[in-house]
Structure 1
Amino acid sequence: MQPVFADFSTTPAQLSNAVVTHHRCGIAPSHLALGSGGHIKVDFTAEGRKEDEEAVVTVTVLGPSAPMDVLLNGKALAERLAIPADEGHGDPRDIVLSAPGDLLVAGTNLLEIRSPEGSDTLLLLRAVTVAPAHGQEEARHAVAARTAHRSVVAFGAEVRAPGTTVWQPAPRLLLHVDLGESALPSHLSWRTADGAEAAIGLRADMTGFLGHRRAADGTVTEYRGSLTDRWAYPEGTAGARLHRFSTESGQDSTWSPAGELRLLLDDGGAPLERVSWTDRRGTTVSIALSGASSAGTPAAPQPGGELRDITRTVEDVEASDEFAEWGEVAENLLGKSHNKWLAHEDTAELTFTFARPAAVAVYRLTSANDCPDRDPRDWELQGSHDGSHWTTLDTRTGESFRSRHETKEYPVASPMSFARYRLSIDGNNGSDMTQLSRTQFLAADAPASGPTHGAADFTGYRTVLGGDPVGYRGTTVPGPWSDAPGQQPSQGAGEALQQLLAGDLGETARGLDEAARLIGKLASYLKNS
């Protein structure tokens, strides 16, 4: 018989050879929660099985959890089965039950898992599998492969100062590491361009992590996270800092192709500078990205590089004040018209957020249409990754514009890559208002000849389990790799689907007959809802 999988560790659930309905059931990102009297029903087929072939039912639960009843085609496999306490850790546990061959029928079968009436705790279901007794190992490998396929993972993160009891929210952690081997990471450490560092251990089922981190200012905290979203690549990567590298491995001067590496690790801070990880197969990798620039290490433009206007990549601009009544707002600074921004103050701040981190090499300011005493005179241009810690990149005092709508250009001596830039105006030419007509930001492109032959965008090493370390290097695969948004579930069925568990049925139907059967069952559920 074909193994049955109903994996509730992601939304939508991953289903194979199964249609699932539910009652009194809450759908969480990593499990189903059954209240008192709640149940799920797993509808599956057992075609091609041998006569009286025994099957194994595995129910994966999170603890502490309520007792449960398990029925196959109306016959009890377990009644009020108590879930042993696990000291509150909440790690997934497998409850394995034998299903005698005479309980299975050729064709449609129904597995029910119930939370008994009167239960005062929730039954937390992580996954359900039904497989032939002789095929359990194959089923486990299939589940592992399915899990590895959903390799883009988002965690809600928290930090806690050592010696304290209260966890504080932290930016989410978005993760995707793929060497082309369908092996998820088990341990991960990284450093970002501002000097911040972190190291984490990940749960085997990727539902959470625990570790520590050191912020750019040196503050050390505990660090933990729990699964919030999970996707199959490229879903979940839209707008993210995804790297794709063509890699080589070797020793000394002998190098050979080693496939593609996809790397996405975004903790809400600065871009990656280096990262190390060990995956579930025991492969260890450590790389340093040559394009990253740490705090205090300028990402200076290369000689011969051209300047490129990146103002269009600014996705948001905020001002400490603006004259909204007359439409003289900060957004006007990004346009080419002679509209302007006006603030009712002699000092002001403008914060520009880019779609992705950029190293500004030159910025331009254009004076407005009137009142020269409103022109900025003294200011600082600052950069930040998180909007809290700022680095001063350029300071100007005693500046003046000779005419209206004049554009002046200011080079940045030591460009560094930041996601946010702030123009902090400390004074103007005497007015109680401050104004500008336009701001522009330019970055330095590499020389047209490109990097020298053999240069790599990362360098490091790689070690397989039981082997010796070998060199590992990669060059960037050019292209817009984050332009494939995740598919959104259709809303056309509306309330009719409220009792039918939303699931990814992409691997459910193995043939036309099976597809027709499933479509018929789904239609029946919709009709009777």
Structure 2
Amino acid sequence: MAPVLVDFATRPAELSNAVVRHHRCVIASSYVAMTAGGHLKVDFAVDGGEDTQESVLRVTVLGSAVPMDVALNDEVVTEGFSLPDDGDPGGAREYLLSVPGKTLRQGVNVLRMGNPGGAGDGDGLLRIRTITVDPAEDAGRAERVVAARTGGRAVWTFATERRVLDAPTWQPGPRLLFHLDRGEGDAATRLSWRGTDGAESAVAFRSDLSGFHGHFRAADGVIGELRGTLTERRTAAEGDGLLGQHFTTEEERDGLWRPVGRLRLLLDDGGAPVERVSWSDRRGDAASLTLRTAVTGVSGPPATGERRDVTGKVSRVEASEEFDEWGEVAANLLHRASDKWLAHEDSADLEFTFDSPVAVTAYSLTSANDCSDRDPSDWFLEGSHDGRTWARLDTRENERFGRRFDTREFSFPNSVGYRHYRLRITANSGADETQLSRVQFFGVEGGDTPPQPGVCDFVGYRQGAGAEPVGYRGTRVPAPVAGPADEDNSDAEQLLAGDFSATARSLEDAAHLLDRLTRYLRP
């Protein structure tokens, strides 16, 4: 039987030998929430030449224990089945159910999972992350096959917690964004990294990559434990602005360097840019590299690369507060004019979104036409890949503007390309309102410092399982331009929006499913 897998932790959902319909369900970022009376139907195919045999249904759910009904081809597998509550309201748990061979049939099979309601703790929602069906003698086959094919193409987002050494409780930490693609398909199982500020972390991922556990040393020397829970996993694609840094790579054998493909790396823990990273994967392959970064603590733009005004690449600007009635809005900040932006607060946030990643190394602020006490005095600038996890890039205090429409420029070291920049004004010069006439950005387009001929941007080693280590180096290349985002489809009783590439990779194997898919989509 071909692997059957439905993985709601990706966006769009990863479907292998599966077509999914849903009723009274809400499509969340990393799971499907089924309300009382709701159901999922998974259609999958068993090849006509196969003998039906006992199979194992594995369902990963999140949150409090909620009863579940399961039927296959209208034959009841279980009713009102739930696991004991383990005391972890946000944890993951697995349902393992045996499916007798007699309930399977050649051709299309229909698996129905429902939330009977009327029982369970919490809000009564059944939160499903993954569903697999495997032959009993090869349980876990579906997850292994799909993980091997898609693991390297995934962008992972984890909510993190930290517990300082000897502290009794865990405290929320910044989100971790991670993407690693060497074109070989396997996801990382262990990961360690160091930032330019000296902070270090090392983690090991769970077997299903739903979370991790590890340890950290902060920039100030504080040490403790680090753990994370997967909140979103989506399939990366060319044209995705989240893919961080791109490199062409080489490895050294017998004193000769030869090309070994591309490496795409994104690792953002909300702190300083990463300068060293190491990892290993399921196959036992390992690599470690040190990246070329801007020199911390040096004022002014980086020594390499041509700095330019990149303000024209800003596609959107948003403010936490603006004066709409008089047209003194955030959009005015991008134009050469006497217009201004004004907020009726003594502090405010301005978020700028670029149409592709830009490594900003300087910015300028221009004071507005009146009331010098409305000028910003304290602020900091942050960068983000996704608009949710932010890294602080520059901090200013007690700044003053000498006159009206005075432009002041501020430089800082940075070689990381971000799509989002946020100016957080924490204080002004004494007024109840805050204003600016213009904001400009200067830096390097394409996400990172442009490649220099003959200059490598990382150096390290790589080692295949059971093989000797070899030299490994890479040179940055421009990142693709961001493409349109996928949209969730959450209407009742409809086809689930998903990635059908695995389901339809063979017309012969998927013929039955494609026939049913055509009927679902028919008006």
Q: Cα 1:483–1:357, aligned 2, differ >3 Å: closer, same or farther? A: closer
Question: SS in structure 2 opposite 1:487?
Answer: coil
Unaligned runs of 5+ in 2: 384-388
Task: Indicate the residue corresponding to 1:473 in structure 2.
Answer: 473
1:16 alignment partner in structure 2: 16
Corresponding residue number in structure 1 for 2:503: 508
Letter in 2 for 1:471: G
Deviation of 1:247 after TM superposition, in Å, equals 0.5
TM-aligned CA deviation for residue 173 of structure 1 = 2.1
Q: Distance in 1 between matches of 2:276 and 2:11?
A: 31
Aligned residue type for 1:154: T
Partners of 2:284 and 2:409 lie apart in 1 by 51
Q: Who is 2:386 aligned against? A: none
After the TM superposition, which residues 206-355 of structure 1 pair with which residues of structure 2 at under 5 Å, given as runs? 206-216=209-219, 220=223, 222-234=225-237, 238-240=240-242, 242-250=244-252, 253-294=255-296, 296-298=297-299, 300-302=301-303, 306-313=306-313, 316=317, 326-328=326-328, 331-340=331-340, 355=354
Partners of 1:434 and 1:32 in 2: CA distance = 43
CA contact (8 A) 1:7 1:15 kept: yes
TM-score (norm 1): 0.73
RMSD (CA atoms): 5.0
Deviation at 1:285? Answer: 1.8
1:507 alignment partner, SS class? coil
Letter in 2 for 1:465: A
TM-score (ref. length: structure 2): 0.74
With over 3 angstroms needed to count, the CA separation of the structure-2 counterparts of 1:254 and 1:348, relative to structure 1, is same
SS at match of 1:454: coil
Aligned length: 503
Residue pair 2:132, 2:143 contacting (<8 A) in 1 also? no
Q: Determine if contact 1:59/1:125 at 8 Å carries over to the other structure.
A: no
**CA pair 509-179 structure 1, distance change in 2 beyond 3 A:** closer
Alignment of 1:63-212 (within 5 A): 65=65, 71-75=71-75, 83=83, 90=91, 93=94, 95=96, 97=98, 99-100=100-101, 102-113=102-113, 120=120, 126-131=129-134, 139=142, 141-146=144-149, 148=151, 151-162=154-165, 167-212=170-215
Q: CA deviation at 1:444?
A: 7.7
1:481-492 alignment runs, 5 A limit: 481-489=480-488
1:481 deviation in Å? 1.8
Q: Distance in 2 between matches of 1:433 and 1:7?
A: 49
The structural deviation recorded for 1:57 is 2.9
Q: Which residue of 2 aligns with 1:54?
A: 53
Counterparts of residues 335-484 of structure 1 (less than 5 Å): 335-340=335-340, 355=354, 358-361=359-362, 374=372, 383-384=381-382, 391=394, 400=402, 412=411, 415-416=413-414, 419-420=421-422, 437-443=437-443, 453-478=453-478, 480-484=479-483
The amino acid of 1:521's aligned partner reads R
Larger relative contact order (Cα-Cα within 8 Å, sequence gap ≥ 6)? 2
Q: Residues 310, 14 of structure 1: CA spacing in aligned structure 2 closer, same or farther, 3 A cutoff?
A: closer
Q: Find the counterpart in structure 2 of residue 45 from structure 1.
A: 45
Q: Which secondary structure state, in structure 2, belongs to the residue aligned with residue 156 of structure 1?
A: strand
What is the alpha-carbon distance in structure 1 between the residues aligned to residue 472 and residue 335 of structure 2? 45
**1:31–1:167 Cα change, 3 Å:** same
Secondary structure (helix, strand or coil) at the match of 2:516 reads helix
Distance verdict in 2 for CA 1:364–1:113, change over 3 Å: closer
Compared CA separation, residues 220 and 110, structure 1 to 2 (3 A): same
After superposition, the Cα gap between the structure-2 partners of 1:162 and 1:510, relative to the gap in structure 1 and judged at 3 Å, is same
- Which runs of 5 or more structure 1 residues have no equivalent in the other structure? none
Q: Is the CA contact (8 Å cut-off) linking 2:270 and 2:391 kept in structure 1? A: no
Question: CA offsets, 1:453-486, max 9 Å, x none?
Answer: 53111122222233333221100122x4241233
Structure 2 CA distance, aligned partners of 1:434 and 1:144? 50
Deviation (angstroms), 1:415: 4.3
- Partners in 2 of 1:336 and 1:158 — Cα distance? 44
